[in-house]
Chains A and B, each alone.
Chain A
Amino acid sequence: MKKVVSWIGIFLLCIALTACGSGKTNEQGYYNRLNVYNWGDYIDPQVLADFEEEYGIKINYENYANNEEMLAKIQAGGTDYDVIFPSEYMVEAMITQGLLQELDMANLSNFKNIGDQFKDLPYDPGNKYSVPYFWGTMGIIYNTKLVDEEIDSWDALWNPKYSRSIVMIDSARDTIGITLKKLGYSLNTRSIEELEKAKAELIRQKELVKAYEVDAYKDMMIAGEAAMALAWSGDAMLLLEENPDLAYVIPKEGTNLWFDAMAIPTTSKHKREAELFIDYMMRPEVAAKCAAYVMYATANVEAMKLLPEELTEDELAYPKGNIFEKGEVFIDLGEFTTEYDRVWTEIKAY
């Protein structure tokens, strides 16, 4: 008994010692720790290991499941994240709240690899605070064995033929957003009237919906248990590979065009190393590795050249032409966000 206790004691002591190891400057003159806060599974882990090896900086890699959760953490304080990956409307919200640090373009030489159409977008004019990482659209993924008609409109998600076989995304902005599109409104509407109309549509749709969620629908689509689902483009690409019966469409009413960016929050005390990381992430071969792993569209045109052509030529994965004609980008709605939240609660609690 005593032996066991003393062994446990020694073990715990060792743990306590390793856990308290703190950062310091390494041989290359960099601070040897970097806190990266990203969406779960949104990077090729190999890329992190390579970075550590090259610069001698150890990366603490942590994940969040949505933008709001990340904001809540940064806003609450008490953290020291160095690099985050917010979506466009969150970049805007964080700039307004003074939660992001200005980037020094002199340290980001690889910014030239980013496609011009992804630069200087309204959510962050002049890319003062963020650089794009991935982008994509939203659309309908459907099973051609269960749906024998051509789908080209959001109306399909309201078709009673597919009752209890439709999956929607469990996120207020996304699901309400495409409903607004279906009704011909802007997905950034600040009109209570339009929002109430969207609410009525979604309540009407509720009895047709199998579930509101973001993950398990993938299993159901592959197994043919759900006829159609609202999906992000990258997920759709991964699913098409798994089941040849599936098809993905960007409806004609237009969709949401989204961008996930890299930025440095004010919580970071090591901006130089954070910029080093961001610049590293924009290297063509690094960005290509991530794009191949995650399957979302990279904003890095040099990286696209390194990817298989059948992927980058795919209209659905990498829509061509003026992408801003096909989709509308979310903007931060400030205080009006509470109205979206109220409407969403009312729909789900209906």
Chain B
Amino acid sequence: MVKKALKGTYITLMYLFLYLPIFLLIVYSFNDSRYRGSWSGFTFRWYRELFQDRTIVAALYNTFTIALLAALIATVIGTVSAVAIHNMSPKAKVFFMNVTYLPVLNPDIVIGISLLALFVWMQLKLGFITLLLAHITFNIPYVILAVLPKLKQLNPHLEEAALDLGATPLQAFFKVILPEIMPGVITGALLAFTLSLDDFMVSFFTTGSGINTLSIKIYSMTKLGVSPKINALSALLFIGVIGLLGVLQARIRKIYD
């Protein structure tokens, strides 16, 4: 009994710790003052202004576009590569894993700087494409690292059986292997999406004229003060995500029941 209460308290405290700042962000999005120093009344003003501020809307759109595209492409490349790496000789495997770990281990700031150096050296115009390339680059390893363990758990005879029963290798992959490793693929994709969405450092260096993401927008506001419009935006985003999650959870429950 005591143990259970202790557990409950601990879990509650942990989630409180995680969500307290976010809750506060939402509260301050209704604050009439431009500053966070004082509470000067309730307002919807920032929400109104948010939708009139084209630059923020554009940044939001870019952020999601990049995150979605990067996550999708990285998931495809990462999953295929994971299958390939899984079938390699141990030596080649170690080599590939070390290369894969590079972007994971490399501090964001170094990834950003080094990619900027590369793009300039290649004389690529900085913008949407370079930003996307950069995001895919730091996303792929996480997908590989999420998919590999699932491949390891896979029964090696499963695929052989499918092939023996007359499936083409492609069919075997899509009908037998992919469904088995799907949880890993989804984890990888989700992680890639999350990392892209939250990234500041790498985007900061690899973006050029024409593309602004939310993080860069917020960072550049620091000199003149981050506008509560941004709070309003994150409040909306957060509520949207929670809503989506609610729907998903309801569906998951349905599946299990």
Contact = CB atoms under 8 A, between A and B. Distances in A.
B124 A78 contact: yes
B209 A235 contact: no
Interface in B205-223: 208-212, 216-217, 219-223
Contact of B209 (A12, A81, A218): A81
Interface residues of B, number: 39
A40 B125 contact: no
A78 B35 contact: no
B186 to A, nearest CB: 11
Interface in B63-84: 65, 68-69, 72
Contacts, number: 118
A12 B72 contact: yes
B54 A48 contact: yes
A41 B209 contact: no
B9 interface: no
A223 B209 contact: no
Interface in A112-160: none
Interface stretch (A56-64, A183-191, A276-284, A316-324): A56-64
Interface string A76-106: 1111110000000000000000000000000
B35 A218 contact: yes
Interface string A42-85: 10010011000000000011111110000001001111110000
A294 B128 CA distance: 30
Contacts of B217: 40, 63
Nearest to A42: B224
A77 B219 contact: no
Interface string A255-267: 0000000000001
Given A19-B65, A221-B37, A77 B224 contact: no
Q: Which of A19, A42, A80 has the most CB of B within 10 A?
A: A19
18 contacts: A12-B68, A35-B209, A35-B210, A39-B224, A40-B220, A40-B223, A61-B54, A63-B217, A66-B223, A79-B126, A80-B208, A81-B209, A215-B224, A218-B37, A220-B37, A222-B38, A242-B38, A243-B38
Interface of A: 8, 11-12, 15-16, 19, 33, 35, 37, 39-42, 45, 48-49, 60-66, 73, 76-81, 214-215, 218-223, 225, 235, 238, 242-243, 267, 294
